[in-house]
Chain A
Protein backbone atom coordinates (compact mmCIF):
# COMPACT_ATOMS: atom_id res chain seq x y z
CA UNK A 1 0.00 0.00 0.00
CA UNK A 2 1.80 3.10 -1.18
CA UNK A 3 1.20 6.51 0.23
CA UNK A 4 0.69 7.81 -3.30
CA UNK A 5 -2.29 5.52 -3.59
CA UNK A 6 -3.66 6.56 -0.27
CA UNK A 7 -3.77 10.32 -0.27
CA UNK A 8 -3.91 11.70 3.23
CA UNK A 9 -7.11 13.53 4.11
CA UNK A 10 -7.14 17.08 2.84
CA UNK A 11 -6.11 19.47 5.58
CA UNK A 12 -5.44 23.16 5.06
CA UNK A 13 -1.81 24.31 5.25
CA UNK A 14 -2.38 26.42 8.33
CA UNK A 15 -3.90 23.42 10.10
CA UNK A 16 -0.90 21.25 9.18
CA UNK A 17 1.48 23.84 10.59
CA UNK A 18 -0.66 24.18 13.66
CA UNK A 19 -0.78 20.41 14.22
CA UNK A 20 2.95 19.83 13.80
CA UNK A 21 3.84 22.92 15.81
CA UNK A 22 1.56 21.86 18.65
CA UNK A 23 3.23 18.43 18.68
CA UNK A 24 6.64 20.05 18.94
CA UNK A 25 5.46 22.49 21.62
CA UNK A 26 4.24 19.53 23.66
CA UNK A 27 7.69 17.89 23.27
CA UNK A 28 9.30 21.04 24.67
CA UNK A 29 6.83 21.16 27.56
CA UNK A 30 7.50 17.46 28.17
CA UNK A 31 11.24 18.20 28.43
CA UNK A 32 10.71 20.99 30.95
CA UNK A 33 8.29 18.98 33.10
CA UNK A 34 10.74 16.04 33.01
CA UNK A 35 13.52 18.28 34.34
CA UNK A 36 11.24 19.68 37.08
CA UNK A 37 10.07 16.19 38.11
CA UNK A 38 13.68 14.98 38.22
CA UNK A 39 14.59 18.01 40.36
CA UNK A 40 11.78 17.17 42.81
CA UNK A 41 12.97 13.54 43.05
CA UNK A 42 16.58 14.64 43.57
CA UNK A 43 15.57 17.02 46.36
CA UNK A 44 13.54 14.21 47.94
CA UNK A 45 16.59 11.95 47.88
CA UNK A 46 18.80 14.70 49.28
CA UNK A 47 16.44 15.23 52.22
CA UNK A 48 16.36 11.52 53.02
CA UNK A 49 14.15 9.51 50.62
CA UNK A 50 15.61 6.02 50.14
CA UNK A 51 14.35 3.71 47.38
Chain B
Protein backbone atom coordinates (compact mmCIF):
# COMPACT_ATOMS: atom_id res chain seq x y z
CA UNK B 1 0.00 0.00 0.00
CA UNK B 2 2.88 2.33 0.92
CA UNK B 3 4.54 1.56 -2.43
CA UNK B 4 1.33 2.30 -4.31
CA UNK B 5 0.97 5.65 -2.57
CA UNK B 6 4.58 6.52 -3.43
CA UNK B 7 3.83 5.95 -7.13
CA UNK B 8 0.74 8.18 -7.24
CA UNK B 9 2.30 11.71 -7.35
CA UNK B 10 4.66 10.78 -10.21
CA UNK B 11 1.89 8.98 -12.05
CA UNK B 12 -0.33 12.05 -11.69
CA UNK B 13 2.48 14.19 -13.16
CA UNK B 14 2.81 11.81 -16.14
CA UNK B 15 -0.95 11.73 -16.73
CA UNK B 16 -1.24 15.52 -16.48
CA UNK B 17 1.67 15.92 -18.91
CA UNK B 18 0.10 13.45 -21.36
CA UNK B 19 -3.17 15.39 -21.24
CA UNK B 20 -1.31 18.64 -21.85
CA UNK B 21 0.51 17.21 -24.86
CA UNK B 22 -2.61 15.66 -26.42
CA UNK B 23 -5.03 18.53 -25.81
CA UNK B 24 -2.81 21.58 -26.35
CA UNK B 25 0.73 21.00 -27.63
CA UNK B 26 0.00 18.63 -30.53
CA UNK B 27 -2.94 20.69 -31.89
CA UNK B 28 -0.80 23.85 -31.64
CA UNK B 29 2.09 22.26 -33.59
CA UNK B 30 -0.34 20.90 -36.19
CA UNK B 31 -1.59 24.43 -36.89
CA UNK B 32 1.53 26.55 -36.43
CA UNK B 33 4.39 24.27 -37.56
CA UNK B 34 3.00 21.87 -40.12
CA UNK B 35 6.46 21.10 -41.53
CA UNK B 36 7.69 19.96 -38.12
CA UNK B 37 4.59 17.87 -37.71
CA UNK B 38 4.93 16.22 -41.14
CA UNK B 39 8.69 15.75 -41.50
CA UNK B 40 9.93 15.52 -37.90
CA UNK B 41 6.78 13.60 -36.90
CA UNK B 42 6.13 15.81 -33.91
CA UNK B 43 2.87 14.06 -33.09
CA UNK B 44 1.57 13.50 -29.56
CA UNK B 45 3.76 10.42 -29.03
CA UNK B 46 7.02 12.01 -30.14
CA UNK B 47 6.12 15.15 -28.18
CA UNK B 48 5.42 13.03 -25.09
CA UNK B 49 8.92 11.59 -25.29
CA UNK B 50 10.56 14.97 -25.90
CA UNK B 51 8.53 16.62 -23.15
CA UNK B 52 9.69 13.85 -20.81
CA UNK B 53 13.32 14.61 -21.67
CA UNK B 54 12.78 18.30 -20.93
CA UNK B 55 11.03 17.52 -17.64
CA UNK B 56 13.70 15.04 -16.58
CA UNK B 57 16.76 17.05 -17.53
CA UNK B 58 15.69 20.66 -17.12
CA UNK B 59 13.35 20.33 -14.17
CA UNK B 60 15.76 17.72 -12.71
CA UNK B 61 13.25 15.01 -11.88
CA UNK B 62 11.33 16.12 -8.80
CA UNK B 63 11.99 13.76 -5.89
CA UNK B 64 8.30 13.35 -5.09
CA UNK B 65 7.69 12.04 -8.62
CA UNK B 66 10.60 9.57 -8.72
CA UNK B 67 8.68 6.36 -7.88
CA UNK B 68 5.85 7.18 -10.28
CA UNK B 69 8.30 7.93 -13.08
CA UNK B 70 10.01 4.58 -12.44
CA UNK B 71 6.66 2.84 -12.91
CA UNK B 72 6.39 4.20 -16.46
CA UNK B 73 8.27 1.17 -17.84
CA UNK B 74 5.55 -1.01 -16.38
CA UNK B 75 2.88 1.21 -17.98
CA UNK B 76 4.59 0.85 -21.38
CA UNK B 77 4.47 -2.92 -20.94
CA UNK B 78 0.78 -2.70 -19.97
CA UNK B 79 0.23 -0.94 -23.29
CA UNK B 80 2.10 -3.69 -25.13
CA UNK B 81 -0.02 -6.38 -23.40
CA UNK B 82 -3.24 -4.56 -24.40
CA UNK B 83 -1.81 -4.20 -27.88
CA UNK B 84 -2.11 -7.97 -28.25
CA UNK B 85 -5.85 -7.37 -28.73
CA UNK B 86 -5.17 -5.61 -32.06
CA UNK B 87 -3.79 -8.78 -33.69
CA UNK B 88 -5.15 -12.12 -34.79
CA UNK B 89 -2.92 -15.20 -34.71
CA UNK B 90 -3.12 -15.30 -38.50
CA UNK B 91 -1.67 -11.80 -38.69
CA UNK B 92 1.09 -12.62 -36.18
CA UNK B 93 1.95 -15.73 -38.20
CA UNK B 94 2.13 -13.74 -41.43
CA UNK B 95 4.37 -10.94 -40.12
CA UNK B 96 6.15 -13.36 -37.79
CA UNK B 97 7.56 -15.49 -40.61
CA UNK B 98 9.42 -12.53 -42.10
CA UNK B 99 10.44 -11.11 -38.74
CA UNK B 100 11.80 -14.46 -37.55
CA UNK B 101 14.24 -14.74 -40.46
CA UNK B 102 15.37 -11.11 -40.29
CA UNK B 103 15.63 -10.96 -36.51
CA UNK B 104 17.48 -14.29 -36.28
CA UNK B 105 20.08 -12.97 -38.70
CA UNK B 106 20.46 -9.50 -37.19
CA UNK B 107 20.47 -10.60 -33.54
CA UNK B 108 23.29 -13.08 -34.12
CA UNK B 109 25.32 -10.85 -36.45
CA UNK B 110 25.17 -7.86 -34.06
CA UNK B 111 25.88 -10.02 -31.03
CA UNK B 112 28.98 -11.66 -32.50
CA UNK B 113 30.11 -8.37 -34.08
CA UNK B 114 30.21 -6.69 -30.65
CA UNK B 115 32.01 -9.68 -29.10
CA UNK B 116 34.57 -9.52 -31.91
CA UNK B 117 34.98 -5.76 -31.60
CA UNK B 118 35.45 -6.07 -27.86
CA UNK B 119 38.21 -8.58 -28.44
CA UNK B 120 39.92 -6.37 -31.03
CA UNK B 121 39.68 -3.25 -28.85
CA UNK B 122 40.63 -5.24 -25.73
CA UNK B 123 37.63 -4.14 -23.71
CA UNK B 124 36.78 -6.13 -20.56
CA UNK B 125 34.97 -9.34 -21.41
CA UNK B 126 32.22 -8.65 -18.87
CA UNK B 127 31.39 -5.26 -20.41
CA UNK B 128 31.64 -6.66 -23.94
CA UNK B 129 29.23 -9.50 -23.15
CA UNK B 130 26.64 -7.19 -21.63
CA UNK B 131 26.88 -4.70 -24.50
CA UNK B 132 26.70 -7.50 -27.10
CA UNK B 133 23.46 -8.70 -25.54
CA UNK B 134 22.01 -5.19 -25.36
CA UNK B 135 22.90 -4.29 -28.96
CA UNK B 136 21.86 -7.71 -30.27
CA UNK B 137 18.41 -7.92 -28.72
CA UNK B 138 16.38 -5.27 -26.99
CA UNK B 139 18.69 -2.86 -25.19
CA UNK B 140 18.31 -2.23 -21.50
CA UNK B 141 16.34 -5.36 -20.47
CA UNK B 142 18.82 -7.63 -22.22
CA UNK B 143 21.73 -5.84 -20.56
CA UNK B 144 20.16 -6.23 -17.14
CA UNK B 145 19.62 -9.93 -17.84
CA UNK B 146 23.20 -10.45 -19.04
CA UNK B 147 24.99 -8.48 -16.30
CA UNK B 148 24.92 -11.10 -13.51
CA UNK B 149 25.89 -13.83 -15.94
CA UNK B 150 29.01 -11.95 -17.04
CA UNK B 151 29.80 -10.77 -13.53
CA UNK B 152 29.60 -7.17 -14.73
CA UNK B 153 29.82 -4.46 -12.12
CA UNK B 154 27.04 -1.95 -11.51
CA UNK B 155 29.19 0.75 -13.11
CA UNK B 156 29.78 -1.38 -16.24
CA UNK B 157 26.05 -2.06 -16.49
CA UNK B 158 25.38 1.67 -16.21
CA UNK B 159 27.93 2.34 -19.00
CA UNK B 160 26.22 -0.17 -21.30
CA UNK B 161 22.76 1.26 -20.58
CA UNK B 162 24.08 4.77 -21.23
CA UNK B 163 25.58 3.74 -24.58
CA UNK B 164 22.40 1.96 -25.73
CA UNK B 165 20.05 4.74 -24.67
CA UNK B 166 22.33 7.46 -25.99
CA UNK B 167 22.50 5.96 -29.45
CA UNK B 168 18.79 5.13 -29.27
CA UNK B 169 18.02 8.77 -28.61
CA UNK B 170 19.66 9.74 -31.91
CA UNK B 171 17.67 6.98 -33.62
CA UNK B 172 14.37 8.23 -32.17
CA UNK B 173 14.90 11.65 -33.68
CA UNK B 174 16.30 10.55 -37.05
CA UNK B 175 14.37 7.38 -38.01
CA UNK B 176 10.96 8.97 -38.72
CA UNK B 177 12.52 11.76 -40.81
CA UNK B 178 14.67 9.31 -42.82
CA UNK B 179 11.69 6.99 -43.29
CA UNK B 180 9.62 9.87 -44.67
CA UNK B 181 12.41 11.20 -46.89
CA UNK B 182 13.04 7.84 -48.56
CA UNK B 183 9.33 7.04 -48.72
CA UNK B 184 9.15 3.84 -46.66
CA UNK B 185 5.75 2.19 -46.37
CA UNK B 186 4.25 1.43 -42.93
CA UNK B 187 5.27 -2.21 -43.28
CA UNK B 188 8.84 -1.36 -44.28
CA UNK B 189 9.25 1.27 -41.59
CA UNK B 190 7.84 -1.03 -38.89
CA UNK B 191 10.26 -3.77 -39.94
CA UNK B 192 13.18 -1.36 -40.00
CA UNK B 193 12.41 0.15 -36.59
CA UNK B 194 11.78 -3.26 -34.99
CA UNK B 195 15.08 -4.61 -36.30
CA UNK B 196 17.43 -1.62 -36.31
CA UNK B 197 16.65 0.32 -33.12
CA UNK B 198 18.55 -0.95 -30.11
CA UNK B 199 16.06 -0.44 -27.29
CA UNK B 200 12.48 -1.81 -27.13
CA UNK B 201 10.81 1.28 -25.70
CA UNK B 202 12.49 3.44 -28.33
CA UNK B 203 11.15 1.13 -31.08
CA UNK B 204 7.69 1.93 -29.80
CA UNK B 205 8.40 5.68 -29.64
CA UNK B 206 9.69 5.74 -33.23
CA UNK B 207 6.85 3.64 -34.64
CA UNK B 208 4.22 5.74 -32.88
CA UNK B 209 5.87 8.91 -34.19
CA UNK B 210 5.93 7.62 -37.79
CA UNK B 211 2.39 6.18 -37.67
CA UNK B 212 0.15 7.50 -40.43
CA UNK B 213 -2.61 4.92 -40.08
CA UNK B 214 -4.17 6.26 -36.86
CA UNK B 215 -7.00 3.72 -36.92
CA UNK B 216 -5.23 0.54 -38.03
CA UNK B 217 -1.87 1.41 -36.39
CA UNK B 218 -0.11 -0.67 -39.03
CA UNK B 219 3.44 0.65 -38.43
CA UNK B 220 3.21 0.11 -34.68
CA UNK B 221 1.79 -3.39 -35.17
CA UNK B 222 4.57 -4.49 -37.53
CA UNK B 223 7.34 -2.93 -35.42
CA UNK B 224 6.07 -4.59 -32.27
CA UNK B 225 5.97 -8.05 -33.86
CA UNK B 226 9.58 -7.57 -34.94
CA UNK B 227 10.46 -6.30 -31.49
CA UNK B 228 8.71 -9.15 -29.67
CA UNK B 229 10.42 -11.67 -31.97
CA UNK B 230 13.82 -10.37 -30.95
CA UNK B 231 12.87 -10.21 -27.26
CA UNK B 232 12.04 -13.92 -27.58
CA UNK B 233 15.67 -14.50 -28.55
CA UNK B 234 16.80 -13.28 -25.12
CA UNK B 235 16.90 -16.72 -23.43
CA UNK B 236 18.84 -18.14 -26.42
CA UNK B 237 21.41 -15.36 -26.36
CA UNK B 238 21.78 -15.62 -22.60
CA UNK B 239 22.52 -19.31 -23.11
CA UNK B 240 25.18 -18.53 -25.73
CA UNK B 241 26.61 -15.92 -23.37
CA UNK B 242 26.78 -18.52 -20.59
CA UNK B 243 28.89 -20.76 -22.83
CA UNK B 244 31.00 -17.77 -23.87
CA UNK B 245 31.64 -16.83 -20.25
CA UNK B 246 32.37 -20.38 -19.12
CA UNK B 247 34.63 -21.08 -22.11
CA UNK B 248 36.84 -18.24 -20.94
CA UNK B 249 36.88 -19.64 -17.43
CA UNK B 250 35.06 -16.62 -16.07
CA UNK B 251 32.74 -17.02 -13.20
CA UNK B 252 29.25 -17.82 -14.37
CA UNK B 253 26.42 -16.84 -12.13
CA UNK B 254 24.39 -19.94 -12.93
CA UNK B 255 25.09 -22.62 -15.47
CA UNK B 256 21.87 -24.66 -15.35
CA UNK B 257 20.76 -23.95 -18.92
CA UNK B 258 17.11 -24.98 -18.45
CA UNK B 259 16.77 -22.79 -15.39
CA UNK B 260 18.52 -19.97 -17.25
CA UNK B 261 16.04 -20.06 -20.13
CA UNK B 262 13.03 -20.09 -17.79
CA UNK B 263 14.45 -17.29 -15.66
CA UNK B 264 15.15 -14.98 -18.57
CA UNK B 265 11.90 -15.51 -20.44
CA UNK B 266 10.10 -12.15 -20.88
CA UNK B 267 6.82 -12.94 -19.12
CA UNK B 268 4.81 -9.95 -20.42
CA UNK B 269 4.75 -11.58 -23.86
CA UNK B 270 2.44 -14.24 -22.42
CA UNK B 271 -0.03 -11.48 -21.56
CA UNK B 272 0.27 -10.13 -25.11
CA UNK B 273 -0.51 -13.58 -26.54
CA UNK B 274 -3.48 -14.04 -24.17
CA UNK B 275 -4.95 -10.81 -25.52
CA UNK B 276 -4.45 -12.01 -29.10
CA UNK B 277 -6.17 -15.27 -28.18
CA UNK B 278 -9.15 -13.34 -26.74
CA UNK B 279 -9.46 -11.28 -29.95
CA UNK B 280 -9.10 -14.38 -32.10
CA UNK B 281 -12.05 -16.07 -30.36
CA UNK B 282 -14.14 -12.89 -30.74
CA UNK B 283 -14.20 -11.87 -27.08
CA UNK B 284 -14.39 -8.14 -27.96
CA UNK B 285 -16.84 -6.21 -30.12
CA UNK B 286 -15.82 -3.22 -32.29
CA UNK B 287 -16.62 -0.63 -29.59
CA UNK B 288 -14.61 -2.51 -26.98
CA UNK B 289 -11.65 -2.88 -29.35
CA UNK B 290 -11.72 0.87 -30.00
CA UNK B 291 -11.65 1.54 -26.25
CA UNK B 292 -8.77 -0.90 -25.78
CA UNK B 293 -6.85 0.87 -28.55
CA UNK B 294 -7.41 4.25 -26.85
CA UNK B 295 -6.32 2.88 -23.49
CA UNK B 296 -3.22 1.43 -25.13
CA UNK B 297 -2.32 4.78 -26.70
CA UNK B 298 -2.73 6.55 -23.34
CA UNK B 299 -0.49 3.94 -21.72
CA UNK B 300 2.12 4.57 -24.43
CA UNK B 301 1.89 8.34 -24.07
CA UNK B 302 2.28 8.21 -20.28
CA UNK B 303 5.05 5.61 -20.60
CA UNK B 304 6.96 7.65 -23.18
CA UNK B 305 6.92 10.74 -20.96
CA UNK B 306 8.37 8.57 -18.21
CA UNK B 307 10.93 7.10 -20.61
CA UNK B 308 11.96 10.63 -21.59
CA UNK B 309 12.22 11.65 -17.93
CA UNK B 310 14.47 8.66 -17.23
CA UNK B 311 16.77 9.59 -20.12
CA UNK B 312 19.62 11.03 -18.12
CA UNK B 313 21.97 13.15 -20.24
CA UNK B 314 24.42 13.30 -17.35
CA UNK B 315 24.80 9.50 -17.38
CA UNK B 316 24.94 9.36 -21.20
CA UNK B 317 27.70 11.99 -21.23
CA UNK B 318 29.79 9.77 -18.94
CA UNK B 319 29.90 6.98 -21.52
CA UNK B 320 32.81 7.31 -23.85
CA UNK B 321 35.88 5.77 -25.36
CA UNK B 322 35.82 2.15 -26.43
CA UNK B 323 32.38 1.11 -25.09
CA UNK B 324 30.81 4.04 -26.91
CA UNK B 325 32.70 3.19 -30.09
CA UNK B 326 31.47 -0.41 -29.86
CA UNK B 327 27.86 0.61 -29.26
CA UNK B 328 27.82 3.20 -32.04
CA UNK B 329 29.48 0.80 -34.52
CA UNK B 330 26.98 -1.95 -33.72
CA UNK B 331 24.05 0.48 -33.86
CA UNK B 332 25.13 1.92 -37.21
CA UNK B 333 25.76 -1.53 -38.68
CA UNK B 334 22.32 -2.70 -37.56
CA UNK B 335 20.59 0.47 -38.76
CA UNK B 336 22.14 0.49 -42.24
CA UNK B 337 22.09 -3.25 -42.90
CA UNK B 338 18.48 -3.59 -41.72
CA UNK B 339 17.44 -0.66 -43.92
CA UNK B 340 18.98 -2.41 -46.95
CA UNK B 341 17.29 -5.70 -45.98
CA UNK B 342 13.93 -3.95 -45.55
CA UNK B 343 14.21 -2.23 -48.95
CA UNK B 344 15.17 -5.52 -50.60
CA UNK B 345 12.84 -7.99 -48.93
CA UNK B 346 9.83 -6.15 -47.42
CA UNK B 347 7.42 -4.92 -50.05
**Are B323 and A3 interface neighbours, CB within 8 A?**
yes
Chain A residues near B291 (CB, 8 Å)? 45, 49-51
Chain B residues near A42 (CB, 8 Å)? 82, 85, 275, 278, 292
Interface hits, B144-189 → A, CB 8 Å? 144-145, 147-148, 151-157, 159
Given contacts A20-B157, A37-B75, 11 further A-B contacts (CB under 8 A): A3-B322, A8-B154, A13-B251, A19-B154, A23-B147, A27-B141, A32-B267, A39-B271, A41-B295, A42-B85, A50-B287
**Are A21 and B148 interface neighbours, CB within 8 A?**
yes
Interface hits, B75-93 → A, CB 8 Å? 75, 77-78, 80-82, 85
Contact digits for A16-34, partner B, Cβ 8 Å, 1 yes 0 no: 1101110110011011111
Q: Classify the interface of chain A: helix, strand, loop or mixed.
A: helix
- Cross-chain pairs A/B with CB under 8 angstroms, 14 sampled: A3-B323, A4-B124, A4-B322, A23-B147, A31-B268, A31-B271, A34-B74, A37-B74, A41-B82, A41-B292, A42-B275, A42-B278, A51-B294, A51-B298
**Are B77 and A34 interface neighbours, CB within 8 A?**
yes
**Are A13 and B151 interface neighbours, CB within 8 A?**
yes
**Are A20 and B154 interface neighbours, CB within 8 A?**
yes
B73 at the interface (CB under 8 A from A): yes
**Are A3 and B321 interface neighbours, CB within 8 A?**
yes
**Are B78 and A17 interface neighbours, CB within 8 A?**
no
Which of chain B's residues has its CB closest to A1's CB? B320
A34's partner among B81, B123, B141, B322 (CB-CB below 8 A) is: B81
**Are A34 and B271 interface neighbours, CB within 8 A?**
yes
**Are A34 and B268 interface neighbours, CB within 8 A?**
yes
A43 and B258 alpha carbons, distance in the complex (Å): 35
Q: Classify the interface of chain B: helix, strand, loop or mixed.
A: helix
A5 and B320 alpha carbons, distance in the complex (Å): 11
**Are A51 and B152 interface neighbours, CB within 8 A?**
no
Q: How far is the CB of B218 from chain A (nearest CB, A)?
A: 21
A31's partner among B266, B284, B294 (CB-CB below 8 A) is: B266
**Are B144 and A20 interface neighbours, CB within 8 A?**
yes
Q: How far is the CB of B163 from chain A (nearest CB, A)?
A: 10
**Are B295 and A45 interface neighbours, CB within 8 A?**
yes
Q: How far is the CB of A50 from chain B (nearest CB, A)?
A: 5
A51 and B283 alpha carbons, distance in the complex (Å): 18
A11's partner among B154, B275, B292, B323 (CB-CB below 8 A) is: B154
Chain B residues near A4 (CB, 8 Å)? 123-124, 321-322
A32 and B268 alpha carbons, distance in the complex (Å): 7
Q: How far is the CB of A32 from chain B (nearest CB, A)?
A: 6
Can you list the 9 inter-chain pairs with the closest CB atoms, starting with the nearest?
Answer: A8-B155, A2-B321, A34-B77, A1-B320, A35-B271, A38-B81, A20-B148, A31-B267, A51-B294
Chain A residues near B147 (CB, 8 Å)? 20, 23
Q: How far is the CB of B297 from chain A (nearest CB, A)?
A: 9
A3's partner among B151, B156, B251, B266 (CB-CB below 8 A) is: B156
Chain A residues near B80 (CB, 8 Å)? 34
Chain A residues near B292 (CB, 8 Å)? 41-42, 45
A11 and B157 alpha carbons, distance in the complex (Å): 13
Chain A residues near B145 (CB, 8 Å)? 24, 27
B214 at the interface (CB under 8 A from A): no
A35's partner among B152, B270, B321, B323 (CB-CB below 8 A) is: B270
Chain A residues near B156 (CB, 8 Å)? 3, 8
A34 and B11 alpha carbons, distance in the complex (Å): 15
**Are B153 and A8 interface neighbours, CB within 8 A?**
yes
A4 and B75 alpha carbons, distance in the complex (Å): 37
**Are B78 and A5 interface neighbours, CB within 8 A?**
no
Which of chain B's residues has its CB closest to A21's CB? B148
